[in-house]
Structure 1
Amino acid sequence: MSSLSVALSLGGQTEADPHQELMQLCKRTDAVVNECNKAKEKLEQMRRRTSGFVHAEDLDASRDGQAAIIAGMEEELADVMQQIRESFIQRKNYEVIMKRLKDGERNYAKELAIIDSAAAAKGGDITQLKLMLKDAEHVRDVAAKELLKVQETSEREQRQQKMALQERRKKLESRREAVAAFEQRCVARLDALEIEKDAAQTRLDELAVVDPADVQSEHEQIMQYEEQFLQIKQVVGVIKVDEIIERFSQQEEAAATLDALIVETQTRIDQVKAARTEIKRAVEALRYSGDVQAEKSSEEFSLERRMSETERLSALRGERQRRTRLRRAKALLTEARVAIEHLGEVCTKSAALPDADEAGGTGGT
């Protein structure tokens, strides 16, 4: 009992070495088994000695103190065997852990060397990518400055063209008003001349006796009217009255044509403005494409750390493609600038159309 108690007390302590503890537990188990066997032999001898004079009811194990001790020792033996199995399982787990640690120690140096070489290669790639990103940002800034200059120039020219167009419209309106007033005055003069001629003819018919003084005054008045009508003919450029009226009608048609040309010119200007707005949007999208390429480069660089050597080669090919895209973007910005300049020239020519129409109308008049 004392050796079994010592074994149980020692078994409850923390194991320093699983193998040594297992050996101690085995020794303790053997001692307990030997003591149990000796107790069994002693009990058997006692049974043989008392078999002749001991009643059957006296052989009950519950009444024998040695049997109770043996049962307790068997329970302790079962507990010790359970502890032995647990210790054996822990030992196997420790051995597996030690084996994995040793394998990891052997492979760690190789993996570390591979990681160092990959990190060195990535450092060179980082430097190249930074230089490429710097070049791309410089190209983007230059393109943005050029685009800003083009926009400012275009807006300034557009304002100037609007002011010139407004001035020309004002001049055209003033000329149209002057022509309308001149037509009204001419028509009024013609009507007045017709009325005066009719009145003069009526007076001539009514007068039986003609006074030379009255005839002289009427003749002077008629001469004055003829001079005024001659001035109207010289201004209009025709001789007959019907031609004068027809010329006034032609001037009205010319004014209507000028109005139609103004509307058409304004429509063209609106179309050119719409096209210019679309080109501005395209140029704006191209201007920000440099930022998108930089973000993509940073994302691909974060993914490239986990790539192998073959994946790194594919990433370099992708980088060459990005360079090509940046060059194309630069070429597109240049083409956009040329297109904007061309649109500015078109706007200038469109704004100059009313002058040509006005000149044509004046020549016809």
Structure 2
Amino acid sequence: MTNGKRFQGFKVSRFRGLLFVVWVLVLVSSSFASSSLTDNTISLGYIKAGSSEVGAISWQPDFRLGMWGVGLDINIPVGNNKPEGYDTVVFRYAEFNDGMKGLRYGLLDGYTWGHGLLMKNYSSRNAGPIAQNNNQTAFKGYFNAERVGIEFFTTWSHLYGLRLTERAHQMLILGQSYISDADGVSVKNTDGTTTTYPSVSGLAIDASVPLPMNFIGYTETAALMTSGNSAIGSTIGINWGFNALAFAALFDVGYRVNGKNFVPGYFNGGYETNPINLISYEASSKEKNGYIAELNLLFSTLLQTDVIYEYYNGSDAVLNGKASAKYDKYTASAYFEQPKFTDFRSLNLEQGAIIGMTVGYDINDNMTLFAHYKKAYDPNVGQVIESQYYEVKLGF
């Protein structure tokens, strides 16, 4: 047999093997789909991340039973050049929620406590591959009673948080937050060296008071603590909300007074990929007072946007945003993260900016095409990784 025939035989054999795998997944999904408690999807896709590329077959079942839910990804790579962090079995989420108390294991995205002075828009998805893996998940829980509430979270990167809220009076809501990174963050630099940022803990207290015409006034004070050092910042602000049948809006603006060494919103969307170096920040003698403004708009199910603008003395302006839209058979979402205090480091992707988007098209009730894009600095490899993920999802 010639080499060409052997190669052709190998390709045919491999193609038949892939068809067999897909057929088995279809049969398994169909059997689960007979239960009204389960949604099932098979995804056939292609992933390219930097110089790595691989075909991807994925079974994505969602099991639901009352207040309980579990979502999995069973991934089968087609090829040997898998991207960094590509997991075979991924627990997308596991949750219990009865409205008053709940537990959830899954992604944290856009996570904010209080009024964002300590933690603003934290995300566990930004560090890692374009396709979700297990290291991007976190565990959180909450309990809400008539007057008090408790919330906590922990991540695989050893970030822990606990928050208590209390309705002390009909006109006063109090909150206390504590966040700690047990072992700091290690980031590989573009020159191959590794920087380890020290463990940082934060404590915040906040209060909010309802005002006439849907306004709410608030204040928050927070402290960042490292070994032998601490820094304090405060904010005072007001927000206004409007909610009609097909339109909702929320506007928030606050003025922040930042003590020396204090970084507002330190635990943010870029914390896992490129945290702010508090040592270099401490060396600055510039005043860092400034303001933050946020606008959130919702137009029925068609469009949702959230834009955050920040400016501090001695620093360039910062703009973060995310949006999602759905019209007829089309869906789209996008997000952008820009590092804060940009006079301390450059404004390029090598230093922490993150861009991501997804576009989808429903071919029919059971088939959807998706294109995903992400460009971000990967602290594990020390360079910017541009990733694309194209897939067709088949629902059963």
Provide TM-score, normalisation by structure 1.
0.17
Which structure carries more helix by proportion?
1
Higher relative CO (Cα under 8 Å, sequence separation at least 6) belongs to 1
Provide TM-score, normalisation by structure 2.
0.16
Which structure has the larger Rg? 1
Which structure carries more strand by proportion?
2
